[in-house]
C-alpha cells in the first residue's frame, strides 16, 4: 500500500499539521519534501501543543519513522532547537532522519532574506525571513551547501570559502552590510554537523525500501498551492514546488508510487504576507474570523488576512494537483456567522472568469462573485458523524465538494485529534 500526499490547497496554514498528526497513527513513515522552517504546522495532541517547522508532524507516534527529505532546506539551528523541544516533552526523536542531499540555510541566507525584503520597499513579498528564497536560489544556482557536506570537513571548508567570498561581496558592496567571517561560520556549521550526523541518511533509499516492504508512507506538504513557485500567485509565492508533483523530486519517489493526494482546505480563506487575495474581508467579519479562530502566523506571529472561501482558486488547486479527496478544516469556526459566502467566479472588466488569471495584476482587479448560504450558528465541535451536523453545515460542505469536484474524506471541527469527522477512509 500506499504513499499518500497531504497537500496545502490554498495559501498555506490550512491545518496540514493536524491532519498529518491524525493520520500518522495508521502509517509507518511521515516525510517532509519541500519548504523549510517557513512552515509552521500546529499540532495539539496528548503530548502538548506544538508548532512544527521542520520535523514531520508524525513524530508524536512512537512507531513512525520521520524523514526530512532532500527537497527541504534546513536551518540547523531551528532543527536542533525543535529536537530539544520535543525531547523536553518526552517525545522521542530516535526515528527521525534527514536527507544527506537536503540543502542548508546558511547565515548569509538569513541576512539576505531580510536585506532583499527591505530593498523591495513597498513591493516586499512579506517573506517569513527564514532564508528560504536565498537558499533555494543557491540550490538552483549551484552554490548550495548540503547536510552531507558537513560530514566532509576538508571539502566543506573549501566550498564555504568559495561561496562565502561571493556572498560577502554581495553583502558589503550591494547592501553595505558587514561581511561574515569564514572561520566563525565554518566552526559553527562543523558543530551543527557533529550534532546532526546521527540523523543524516540516504533518505531516498529509506522511502523506496519502505514502499517495497508495503509500508504506508504519508507525505506532509508545506505551504500551499497558491504559494507554489509555478502555479501560485507569482511573485507573491515561496520558492518551492509545494504541490503534489514536488513530492516526487523532493524525496526521490517515482510518480508511479503516489497512490493518493489529499488536498487540505480551510473552509474559509487566510493568507499571510503580501499579494492579491480576492475574497479578503477588510471589515468586521474578517476581524471576527481572525479573533475567533486566533488566525496568527505560527512562524512569524503576524495576523493572517481572512476572507470567504474562494472556490475559483480552490477548483484550480484541486484540478492542478489532482486531489483524490479533500480534508476540510475549521468548520467549527463558521458557527459564529449568521450567513456564509462562497466565491464561485470572478468578474473582471465585464467578463466572468471561472479560472484565476496567472497575472497578479489582473487577479488584484478581480471582483469576487458570491453565493450566500445560511449559517448554522451553533457549536459543532463535539460532533463526530457527518449526519449529525446541522443541515446548514452539511449543505455548506456539499456545496464545496460540488464546486471543487472532489469528495471530502475528513472534516475537522476543532484542533484536537478527536475533533474530527471521518467521512470516508482516506488511506
Ligand atoms: P505552512 O506550511 C503560510 C508565505 C509567506 C510569504 C511567502 C514567501 O505553515 O502552511 P517565504 O518565507 O517562504 O519566502 O515567504 O510565503 N509562507 C507561508 N504562508 N503558511 C506557510 O507555511 C508559509 N510559508 C511561507 O508568508 O507570503
Ligand atoms: Mg502554518
Quick one: pLDDT band at residue 427, thresholds 50, 70, 90? Answer: confident
Look-up of cell digits 560577502: 168
- Identify the three-state secondary structure at position 84: helix
- CB distance 19 to 275 below 8 Å: no
DSSP-derived secondary structure letter, 198: G
- CB distance 88 to 47 below 8 Å: no
- Identify the three-state secondary structure at position 383: coil
Distance CA 356, CA 342 (A): 15
Distance CA 148, CA 100 (A): 4
| Cα 17 to ligand 1 centroid, rounded to whole Å | 14
pLDDT score at 177: 98
Q: Which ligand is nearest to the CA of 220?
A: 1
Distance CA 285, CA 282 (A): 8
Strands 269-271 and 305-307, how do they pair?
antiparallel
Quick one: pLDDT band at residue 426, thresholds 50, 70, 90? Answer: confident
DSSP strands (E only) in 46-110: 48-52, 65-68, 73-74, 96-99, 103-104
- Give the residue ranges of DSSP H helices in 280-383: 284-292, 311-321, 360-365
Q: Which residues line ligand 1 (CB under 6 A)?
A: 8, 11-13, 35, 38-41, 125-128, 130, 132-133, 222-224, 227, 238-239, 272-273
Ligand 1 pocket test, pick from 9, 15, 34, 38 with the greatest ligand atom count within 8 Å of Cβ, gives 38
Decide if pLDDT at 1 tops 60: no
Minimum CA distance residue for ligand 1 atom 27: 273
Q: How far is CA 23 from CA 52, 58, 98, 144, in A?
A: 16, 8, 21, 34
- CB distance 160 to 182 below 8 Å: yes
pLDDT score at 387: 98
Provide mean pLDDT across the span 23-31: 97
Average pLDDT, rounded, for the chain? 97
* Residue pLDDT, tens place only, 126-168: 999 999 999 999 999 999 999 999 999 999 999 999 999 999 9
| Cα 272 to ligand 2 centroid, rounded to whole Å | 9
The pTM of the full predicted model, rounded to 2 decimals, is: 0.97
Phi, psi of 76 (to 5 degrees): -60, -35
Ligand 1 pocket test, pick from 55, 125, 238, 297 with the greatest ligand atom count within 8 Å of Cβ, gives 238
* Residue pLDDT, tens place only, 205-246: 999 999 999 999 999 999 999 999 999 999 999 999 999 999
Give me 410's grid cell.
475528513
| Cα 14 to ligand 2 centroid, rounded to whole Å | 7
Distance CA 168, CA 178 (A): 8
* Residue pLDDT, tens place only, 305-357: 999 999 999 999 999 999 999 999 999 999 999 999 999 999 999 999 999 99
DSSP-derived secondary structure letter, 100: T
Ligand 1 atom nearest residue 302's Cα:
26
- CB distance 360 to 276 below 8 Å: yes
The residues that bridge with 48 in the sheet, in sequence order, are: 45
- CB distance 134 to 106 below 8 Å: no
- CB distance 139 to 148 below 8 Å: no
| Cα 56 to ligand 2 centroid, rounded to whole Å | 13
Active site residue ranges: 13, 41
Distance CA 355, CA 316 (A): 7
Provide mean pLDDT across the span 415-420: 97
Provide mean pLDDT across the span 75-102: 98
Amino acid at each position: 500500500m500506499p504513499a499518500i500526499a497531504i497537500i496545502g490547497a490554498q495559501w498555506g496554514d490550512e491545518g496540514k499539521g493536524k491532519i498529518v498528526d491524525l493520520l500518522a497513527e495508521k502509517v509507518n513513515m511521515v516525510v517532509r519534501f519541500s519548504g523549510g522552517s517557513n512552515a509552521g504546522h500546529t499540532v495539539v495532541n496528548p503530548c502538548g501543543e506544538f508548532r512544527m517547522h521542520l520535523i514531520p508532524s508524525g513524530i508524536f507516534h512512537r512507531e513512525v519513522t520521520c524523514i526530512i527529505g532532500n527537497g527541504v532546506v534546513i536551518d540547523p539551528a531551528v532543527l536542533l532547537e525543535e529536537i530539544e523541544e520535543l525531547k523536553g516533552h518526552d517525545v522521542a526523536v530516535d526515528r527521525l532522519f534527514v536527507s544527506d542531499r537536503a540543502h542548508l540555510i546558511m547565515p548569509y541566507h538569513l541576512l539576505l532574506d531580510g536585506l532583499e525584503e527591505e530593498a523591495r520597499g513597498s513591493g516586499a513579498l512579506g517573506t517569513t525571513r527564514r532564508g528560504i528564497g536565498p537558499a533555494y536560489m543557491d540550490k538552483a544556482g549551484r552554490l548550495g551547501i548540503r547536510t552531507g557536506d558537513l560530514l566532509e570537513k576538508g571539502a566543506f571548508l573549501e566550498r564555504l570559502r568559495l561561496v562565502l567570498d561571493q556572498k560577502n561581496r554581495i553583502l558589503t558592496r550591494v547592501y553595505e552590510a558587514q561581511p561574515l567571517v569564514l572561520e566563525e561560520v565554518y566552526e559553527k556549521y562543523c558543530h551543527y554537523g557533529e550534532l546532526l550526523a546521527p540523523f543524516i541518511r540516504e533518505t531516498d533509499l529509506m522511502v523506496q525500501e519502505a514502499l517495497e516492504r508495503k509500508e504506508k508512507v504519508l507525505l506532509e506538504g508545506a505551504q500551499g498551492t497558491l504559494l507554489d513557485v509555478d502555479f501560485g500567485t507569482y511573485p507573491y509565492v515561496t520558492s518551492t514546488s509545494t504541490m503534489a508533483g514536488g513530492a516526487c523530486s523532493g524525496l526521490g519517489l517515482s510518480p508511479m508510487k503516489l497512490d493518493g493526494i489529499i488536498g487540505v482546505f480551510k473552509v474559509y480563506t487566510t493568507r499571510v504576507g503580501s499579494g492579491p487575495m480576492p475574497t479578503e474581508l477588510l471589515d468586521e467579519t474578517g476581524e471576527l474570523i481572525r479573533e475567533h479562530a486566533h488566525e496568527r502566523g505560527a512562524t512569524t506571529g503576524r495576523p493572517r488576512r481572512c476572507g470567504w472561501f474562494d472556490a475559483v482558486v480552490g477548483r484550480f488547486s484541486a484540478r492542478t494537483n489532482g486531489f483524490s479527496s479533500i480534508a476540510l478544516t475549521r468548520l467549527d469556526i463558521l458557527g459564529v456567522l449568521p450567513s456564509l459566502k462562497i466565491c464561485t467566479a470572478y468578474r473582471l472588466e465585464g467578463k466572468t472568469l471561472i479560472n484565476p488569471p496567472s497575472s497578479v495584476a489582473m487577479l488584484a482587479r478581480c471582483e469576487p462573485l458570491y453565493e450566500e448560504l445560511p449559517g448554522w450558528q451553533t457549536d459543532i465541535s463535539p460532533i463526530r458523524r457527518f449526519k449529525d451536523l446541522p443541515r446548514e453545515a452539511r449543505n455548506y460542505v456539499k456545496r464545496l465538494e460540488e464546486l471543487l469536484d472532489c469528495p471530502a474524506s475528513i472534516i475537522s471541527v476543532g484542533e484536537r485529534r478527536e475533533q474530527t469527522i471521518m467521512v470516508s477512509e482516506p488511506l
